Copies of this chain bind each other. A is one copy, B any other.
Amino acid sequence: MTHNGQCLLFLTLAILTCNVLRCHCKSLDYRDKPSGKISQEISKYTDIAQKIIQLAVYGNAQNRSYEKLAAFTDTVGHRVTGSRNLDLAIKYMYNAMRLDGLENVHLEPVKIPRWIRGEESAVMVLPRNHSMSILGLGSSVGTPKEGIEAEVLVVESFEELKRRANEAKGKIVVFNQPFVSYAETVVYRTAGASEAAKVGAVASLIRSVTPFSINSPHTGWQWYQPGVPQIPTASITVEDAQMMARMARRCTRIVVRLTMGAENLADVDSFNTVAEITGTEHPEQVVLLSGHLDSWDVGQGAMDDGGGVAISWEALSLIKDLGLRPRRTLRTVLWSAEEAGGLGAAQYYQQHKANISNFDLVMESDLGTFAPVGLQFTGSDKARAVMWEVVKLLTPINVTSLEEHGEGTDINMWMEAGVPGASLHTADSRYFWFHHSQGDTMTVQDPTEMNLCSAVWAVVAYVVADLDEMLPR
């Protein structure tokens, strides 16, 4: 093989690896070649950044984002799309942010789906009586009142389901897919019911999308495909999926009775919750910080996405408490109905896209508020060069990385339309252990880590909002 051939192979492998790793690789190019002028301008914010860090991590605001989140989630609990609890959560945040002295606190109306879980159960009746822990999937239809009792077909993949299509008719399909990564494996949750229905199944049960379980089911939204019969679908635990797979390998006949009272009701009114610190020079220009206020209807929604909500609020509190006011407006938006497919954010985009040229940076935290390591960023090369300089301000708290690809259901539309976007990147490999399960509670949150996340969020938002120029597109 020639040297060029080797290079090409290496490049191809690097690109593939990069895609597989969702491009969590540093773009050293821009870091190594910052524009001198930008570098100089941003280095002037070193003192302000230090003051924000001091207040958030060591000062009077220490543990405040944690305490805000604990008081909120302990008081309201979980808050699924369309629920009374989500209404309560919106009122709570509206009042709390007003009381906190933030500006222009208001609600922006959106329509969101209302899905009701109802009573649900799954009992293995053969080969022995065993009550399974389940969580119906969001948007699933219910079963008849008496439930659906049917033999089980266990498959490990969509490929196996296709191969064994002639065995599926009238059965409950159990997907026992191994966990590879959330991005790769979640398709069994989002599309499993329709794939099972296509081959004649009467219901589908999905192994929870998690790398670790203490018999804990993990719910999540699913989507029926047009023109395919809508069958009831629920998540089961890794343990039960694996047990049924072992039984099936022993040729044991398995019968399950699934009962779900789930219902899709008419859309209801809801709100994105907004608070600001108005900019001094360009109040119409906006740096947007966000997290989603809705959660699943289990646990406390403390991690997904209470943490993102708390630091997006706290970032503004820190800036206000220091008497700071940037040139552009800082706007915190707490989205409604993210879990149903980013619906609050989608409507916000429609409502505000005419004004897109005034959106400087959109930020979202929805992957946990554990120890922060940096940002994931989508934007032009020039914007990235600016962001590298901003991230340098976080060196005192060991936050140093700027990775590819800002992520987040709620800011994707803006990024796709060319607005720079940043998501918070934190170090916790256990995120999916708790995600969408009863384990998503304040117990997984750490006050010290949340202090650091709040500091990151405030420094980045303030500095970008105060620069001479908006981020280059």
Contact = CB atoms under 8 A, between A and B. Distances in A.
B215 A215 contact: no
Contacts of A299: 215, 239
Interface in A115-165: 127-128, 130, 133
Interface residues of A, number: 32
Given A74-B252, A77-B128, A214-B214, 10 more contacts: A74-B246, A75-B128, A213-B214, A213-B443, A214-B439, A215-B216, A216-B216, A239-B439, A239-B442, A243-B441
29 contacts: A71-B250, A74-B243, A74-B246, A74-B247, A74-B250, A75-B127, A76-B128, A77-B128, A133-B438, A213-B439, A213-B443, A214-B216, A214-B434, A214-B437, A214-B438, A214-B439, A215-B216, A215-B299, A215-B437, A215-B438, A216-B216, A239-B299, A239-B439, A239-B441, A239-B442, A239-B443, A242-B442, A243-B300, A246-B442
A443 B133 CA distance: 15
Contacts of A133: 438
Interface in A191-243: 213-216, 238-239, 242-243
Closest 9 CB pairs of A and B: A214-B439, A215-B438, A239-B441, A214-B216, A214-B214, A239-B443, A215-B439, A242-B443, A70-B246
A433 interface: yes
Contacts of A433: 214
A437 B439 CA distance: 14
Interface string A393-435: 0000000000000000000000000000000000000000110
A432 to B, nearest CB: 11
Contacts of A70: 246
A441 B244 CA distance: 12
A71 B434 CA distance: 30
A74 B213 CA distance: 18
B441 A215 contact: yes
Contacts of A441: 215, 239, 243
